[in-house]
Amino acid sequence: MSLAEIFGANLRHHRKAKRLTQDQLAEMVELSSEMISKIERGIAAPSFTTIEKLSEVLELPEGAFFGIGLVVTADNTRTRQLSRIQILLSRMNEEQLARATKLLSALID
């Protein structure tokens, strides 16, 4: 299976998990539904900008589309919260991540 096919299969899975149609997702990320269909079938590859938009709209870390990291399968509050936290943490620089770690440790201890 090619990387484009893996990406497409994961995109389809997460889109359906959010109960979105291809048309709805396309509108949210400013693409055509035909392009979403091509990406899901592994025929076309998205740009980095598109991957970032998909990540934001589907509330997933970018790596989830490539089969890396968190895989959200249940639609519950805890899973959504953990996903949002992981996205925020993945976008932090080293200094911000160190501060976030200290804050979380203080909350837990």
Domain ranges of the chain: 3-108
Q: What is the pLDDT of residue 48?
A: 95
Homologous superfamily of the 3-108 domain (CATH): lambda repressor-like DNA-binding domains (1.10.260.40)
Q: What is the pLDDT of residue 20?
A: 95
Q: What is the pLDDT of residue 17?
A: 85
CA–CA separation, 70 vs 33, rounded Å? Answer: 26
Tokens matching residue 51: 């991957």
Q: By the 8 A CB rule, do 44 and 34 touch?
A: no
Extract the residue ranges of the chain whose pLDDT is less than 70.
69-76, 79
Q: What is the pLDDT of residue 72?
A: 46
Q: What is the pLDDT of residue 76?
A: 65
Cα–Cα distances in angstroms (integers) from residue 93 to residues 79, 96, 99, in the given order: 24, 5, 10
